[in-house]
Amino acid sequence: MSSSYDRGTVESFGRWQEFSAGMWAWVLHKFTGWILIGYLFTHIAVLSTATQSPEMYTDTLQGLEELVIVRFLEIGLLAVAVFHILNGVRLLMVDLGIGLGSQDKSFYASLVLTAVIALASIPTFLGGVF
């Protein structure tokens, strides 16, 4: 261990400003992965109501779809899944040696494409709510 390396104080919280696009891509990929794992457990919990009775499953789904917050969460889930997929494809291409020089551009392109898809889905998810 070298004593010349200054890691800064814990209180500064300024190191995030030094993150490059690649570091943000890594952070967002991990974050979206954990969100998708959390959704998987929620999805299994909702599907497990089908084992009780078909009516219970239908009532659960209809009850959830009536909540406006669930509609907004579905838009967020779509954005999370789309970003995770696009960033995963970007990582696959980088691992294959394709686009090594334009990793930043492909990360920003995946963010823009995710935003476009999420915004385009708003009328579909929020149709009939308001």
Tell me the DSSP string of 46-60.
HHGGGGT-HHHHHHH
Percent of the chain, pLDDT > 90?
63
Question: What residue ranges do the domains of the chain occupy?
Answer: 21-126
CA distance 42 to 64: 12
Q: Give me the mean pLDDT over the 18-39 stretch.
A: 91
Mean pLDDT of 75-81: 97
Contact of 114 with 86, CB cutoff 8 Å: yes
Confidence of residue 50 (pLDDT cuts 50, 70, 90): confident
Quick one: pLDDT at residue 92?
Answer: 93
Q: Which residues contact 72 (CB under 8 A, 6 or more apart)?
A: 125, 126
User: Looking at residue 25, what is its pLDDT?
Assistant: 92
Q: Please provide the CATH number assigned to the domain covering 21-126.
A: 1.20.1300.10
Single-letter residue type at 75:
I
Q: How many whole angstroms separate alpha carbon 57 and alpha carbon 62?
A: 9
pTM above 0.75, yes or no: yes
